């Protein structure tokens, strides 16, 4: 009996699991990918519509960098020109987000509440950033709210509170420098007794310098000097912050298509190997 050739029958499972050309794989999966993209777009659109609308307003401040003090500059004169020690930009950003400043800026909205409570309520809606060129810097105080006018009012209130805090810091420095100058003038006047003419003349010159310094300090007390200067007041925004529902739907559909194509090609590559 001769050997008969037995034909090999390919099972449906083997045919389904066999590797395919990537183009063919994508073409077969394309209807499902499009369905998934449409579903993702609808979900993204519905989510964006249902989420509460938020508005952002920003107040801009200019932080003037400290001038360089020459080594020959009299420290007393430098103290008048720079009444408070300069702070880094990062320090101002931390102060603007601190519990104390948030409570001071928004105290009218939550009267009687402790600073941590006020900060916990408003901190998630506050963002403070800077643009630094190595010398001066711009500080952007941004606040989110459900109403555009409320967002503008809160952003301006927080910016004003930051400027007021820095002016109070400058005032304390001026008052301390004035007290030191007055005490030094008293010591110089007391030292005039029993000295020679040359010594008295030298002490008189120093005393006159300290009196000029004292006069400048007294003038600064009337208008404290702060390196923070308002540049742009917060204005009520016209459009809500974030993406529109249409933009959200398009983004969701695009990401779904990319993810689905990646998954299909990955599965096909695994089968090929």
Q: Which pLDDT tens digit goes with each residue over 75-84?
A: 444 444 546 6
Longest dimension (CA), the chain: 145
Interval 130-142 mean pLDDT: 84
Backbone CA torsion sign across 249, 250, 255, 261: positive
What is the domain partition of the chain in residue ranges?
A: 14-51+242-272, 55-232
Highest mean pLDDT among 61-75, 160-174, 215-229: 160-174
Nearest to 125 by CA among 55, 50, 60: 55
Q: Are 153 and 189 in contact (CB under 8 A)?
A: no
pLDDT of residue 10: 52
Cα–Cα dist 129/155, whole Å: 13
Higher-confidence residue of 26 and 3: namely: 26
Q: How confident is the model at residue 3 (pLDDT cuts 50, 70, 90)?
A: low
pLDDT of residue 241: 67
Within 8 A by CB and 6+ apart from 153, the residues are 234
pLDDT in tens, 171-181: 887 777 777 77
DSSP state of 140: E
pLDDT of residue 214: 66
Higher-confidence residue of 145 and 217: namely: 145
Q: How confident is the model at residue 16 (pLDDT cuts 50, 70, 90)?
A: low
- Other CB atoms within 10 A of residue 78 CB: 12
Q: Are 170 and 80 in contact (CB under 8 A)?
A: no
Cα–Cα dist 224/80, whole Å: 11
pLDDT of residue 75: 47
Mean pLDDT of the chain: 76
Over its C-alpha atoms, the chain yields an Rg (Å, rounded) of: 35
Residue 56 burial (10 A CB sphere; 0-12, 13-18, 19+): buried
CA triple 144-149-153, angle to 5 deg:
75
For the cut 90, the answer to whether the pLDDT of residue 162 exceeds it is yes
Q: Are 172 and 96 in contact (CB under 8 A)?
A: no
- The H or E element spanning position 3 is none
- What are the C-alpha distances in Å from 226 to residues 37, 90, 101, 133? 55, 17, 17, 19
Interval 15-35 mean pLDDT: 73
For the cut 50, the answer to whether the pLDDT of residue 1 exceeds it is no
For the cut 50, the answer to whether the pLDDT of residue 71 exceeds it is no
Residue 160 corresponds to which tokens in the numbers above?
């004003």
End-to-end CA distance of the chain, in Å? 42
For the cut 60, the answer to whether the pLDDT of residue 263 exceeds it is yes
Interval 83-102 mean pLDDT: 85
Higher-confidence residue of 230 and 196: namely: 230
Q: How confident is the model at residue 72 (pLDDT cuts 50, 70, 90)?
A: very low
Interval 133-153 mean pLDDT: 87
For the cut 60, the answer to whether the pLDDT of residue 215 exceeds it is yes
pLDDT in tens, 217-258: 666 665 666 778 888 998 988 777 666 677 777 888 888 888
Interval 42-57 mean pLDDT: 77
- Other CB atoms within 10 A of residue 16 CB: 9
Nearest to 230 by CA among 165, 166, 168, 163: 163
pLDDT of residue 69: 41
């Amino acid at each position: 009996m001769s050997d008969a050739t037995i034909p090999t029958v390919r099972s449906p499972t083997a045919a389904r699991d066999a590797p395919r050309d990537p183009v063919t794989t994508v073409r077969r999966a394309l209807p499902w990918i499009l369905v998934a993209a449409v579903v993702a777009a609808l979900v993204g659109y519905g989510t964006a519509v249902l989420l509460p609308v938020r508005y952002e307003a920003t107040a801009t401040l200019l932080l003037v960098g400290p001038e360089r003090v020459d080594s020959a500059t009299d420290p007393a004169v430098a103290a008048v020109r720079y009444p408070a020690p300069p702070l880094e930009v990062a320090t101002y950003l931390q102060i603007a987000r601190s519990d104390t400043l948030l409570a001071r800026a928004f105290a009218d909205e939550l009267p009687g509440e402790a600073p941590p409570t006020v900060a916990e309520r408003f901190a998630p809606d506050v963002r403070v950033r800077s643009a630094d060129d190595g010398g001066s810097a711009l500080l952007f105080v941004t606040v989110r709210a459900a109403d555009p006018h409320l967002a503008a009012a809160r952003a301006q209130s927080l910016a004003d509170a930051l400027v007021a805090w820095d002016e109070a810091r400058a005032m304390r420095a001026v008052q301390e420098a004035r007290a030191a100058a007055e005490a030094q003038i008293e010591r110089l006047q007391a030292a005039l007794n029993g000295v020679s003419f040359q010594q008295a003349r030298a002490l008189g010159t120093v005393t006159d310098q300290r009196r000029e310094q004292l006069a400048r300090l007294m003038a600064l007390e009337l208008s404290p000097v702060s390196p923070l200067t308002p540049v742009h007041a917060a204005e009520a925004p016209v459009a809500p912050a974030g993406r529109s529902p249409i933009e959200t739907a398009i983004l969701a559909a695009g990401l779904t298509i990319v993810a689905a194509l990646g998954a299909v090609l990955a599965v096909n590559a695994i089968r090929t190997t």
